[in-house]
Structure 1
Amino acid sequence: MLYDLPNLRNTDSGNFFLLAGPCVVETEEITYNTALRIKEITDKLKIPFVFKASYRKANRSKLDSFQGIGDMEALKLLGRIKKELNVPIVTDIHNPDEAAMAAEYADILQIPAFLCRQTDLLEAAGRTGKIVNIKKGQFLSPEGMKFAAQKVFETGNNRVMLTDRGTTFGYQDLIIDYRGIPEMQKTGLPVILDITHSLQQPNQAGGITGGRPDLIDTVARAGIAVGVDGLFLETHPNPAIAMSDGANMLHLDKLEWLLTRLVKLRKAVNNL
């Protein structure tokens, strides 16, 4: 299960845990209302829930892509959501200088897949004492993730999670190798499947990443079936107008339907 977090609920349910929210902090209304709705659903279904939103997006394809509303404005909003809704927060960091700043508001610091081998970033995240969620690079083998985790361990911080978000397949697609889930679980660390980023179709000619959200249910059920510890997904009240990654996000209206199916599957897997 997930490491001890004082505001993590439903930890005795036997369910997978969930990291979910919009890709990036866009507006106060969208961010807060999305967090509130996910909390309502996960409490109903007894799913441990961590709210996810990036306070800034640094790894965009095009220079004019939306990156955020301002670092401190976004972080303070995440801090308010954490306090008022009593939910843990996970957010991305992109360089070592951000680690301490983000740690003031977030419970989990997330290392983006493209940056999973950046030693100074991993060390800075580790030194905060926060849980560090390292996303597996699209270019990296599951076996290779133990070395990324070791860089955090060397700071004296053993609170590490690993997330699979697909592997590069050609120039414009990703594929999930489900053999990687048990392989990464050999480390003894919680392993998460990112079910929305794994369905991205990067490097499109127009400079905006595409996606296959119609397959979210398929890959999520497969992940639960192979015994993943947690799921990561991005969701939005209207993905068509989302400022980032709208092409692969789940519509918020579909979240309860999806999670209800996954909880039933998890119970079946637990009884095997």
Structure 2
Amino acid sequence: MKLKMTKLANYQKDNFFLMAGPCAIEGRDMAFSIAEKISEMCLKLEIPLIFKGSYRKANRTKADSFTGIGDEKALKILEEVGKTFGVPTVTDIHETHEAAMAAAFVDVLQIPAFLCRQTELLEAAAKTGKVINIKKGQFLSGASMGFAIEKIKSVNPEIQGILTDRGNSFGYSDLIVDYRNLVHMANFGVPVVMDCTHSLQKPNQTSGVTGGDPKMISTIAKAAIAVGASGLFIETHPDPATAKSDGANMLPLDQLEELLKNLVRVREAIV
């Protein structure tokens, strides 16, 4: 089931959509294995899927942390996944020159939360004509994200934007989710997404490796659907303990289908 990006804003009328995949593209075999399993379960449950994978991880705590397998190699894997399974793909960009490069391979460009106020980056993404998923900064309110939408619309009034919440900073090493932000962001007339995995991160740990609380993913996801989220963002991996990036807050792949079944029931109960 291919999600038609031209009708993305209408999908919340039927079912939530899912942005899911590994944190980072670790290799072709891993990406294809994950994509195949997620595609099968989403097809069965009639959940539109956008496959997610970062071609490069630019924001790492330690200098020796895994950052990627090579930009072009990872982007080509994303492109191949999209064509093979008939699903759109999304990846994040970090600098203006990356926008056109990534846009040649994927359907959706993602602006990381730390960079959501970077005007030139937003404008460069908008110039590609791709759908843009802007993650709300951990330091911002949902209401303030209207300015990010204004920036991309000023470049291309027809551009399709998505706003994604991933929690707000709470002290030095934790995040907290304020579900009012989803409601406030929906007022801008764009699909709103809850990032159910990054919102459970425990950043800036003394070890230099970000922690997490994946057992709470189901709670975050159910609450987001209950308040009307258009979509969910979930990073998943067959063995999070061995993942090269963000393993501490990813959902084990074998737990995803049961969670999605429960979320579909929540969705049916509120519409």
* Alpha-carbon distance in structure 2 between the residues aligned to 1:211 and 1:162: 22
Question: Which residues of structure 1 form unaligned runs of 5+?
Answer: none
Note the alpha carbon deviations across 1:36-86, whole angstroms, 9 max, x for none: 100000000000000000000000111000000000000011111111111
Contact 1:39 1:49 in 2 (8 A): yes
Residues 1:183 and 2:178 aligned together: no
* Alpha-carbon distance in structure 1 between the residues aligned to 2:7 and 2:190: 21
Residues 1:74 and 2:71 aligned together: no
Shift of 1:7: 11
Shift of 1:29: 1.1
Contact 1:25 1:74 in 2 (8 A): yes
Runs of 4+ with deviation above 4 angstroms: 10-13
Contact 1:7 1:87 in 2 (8 A): no
Which position in structure 2 is the counterpart of 1:251?
Answer: 252
Contact 2:175 2:202 in 1 (8 A): yes
Distance 1:44 1:232, change over 3 A: same
* Alpha-carbon distance in structure 2 between the residues aligned to 1:112 and 1:173: 18
* Alpha-carbon distance in structure 1 between the residues aligned to 2:49 and 2:86: 10
Identity %: 57
* Alpha-carbon distance in structure 1 between the residues aligned to 2:37 and 2:95: 31
Matches within 5 A, 1:256-271: 256-270=257-271
Shift of 1:95: 0.3
For normalisation by structure 1, the TM-score amounts to 0.95
* Alpha-carbon distance in structure 1 between the residues aligned to 2:71 and 2:120: 21
* Alpha-carbon distance in structure 1 between the residues aligned to 2:113 and 2:254: 28
* Alpha-carbon distance in structure 1 between the residues aligned to 2:146 and 2:12: 28
Note the alpha carbon deviations across 1:137-175, whole angstroms, 9 max, x for none: 000111110001111011114311100000000000000
Provide the secondary structure at the position in 2 that maps to 1:154. helix
Shift of 1:197: 0.2
Which position in structure 2 is the counterpart of 1:217?
Answer: 218
Matches within 5 A, 1:1-272: 4-5=4-5, 14-156=14-156, 157-270=158-271
Distance 1:133 1:12, change over 3 A: closer
Provide the secondary structure at the position in 2 that maps to 1:254. helix
Contact 2:200 2:212 in 1 (8 A): yes
Distance 1:97 1:64, change over 3 A: same
Contact 1:13 1:47 in 2 (8 A): no
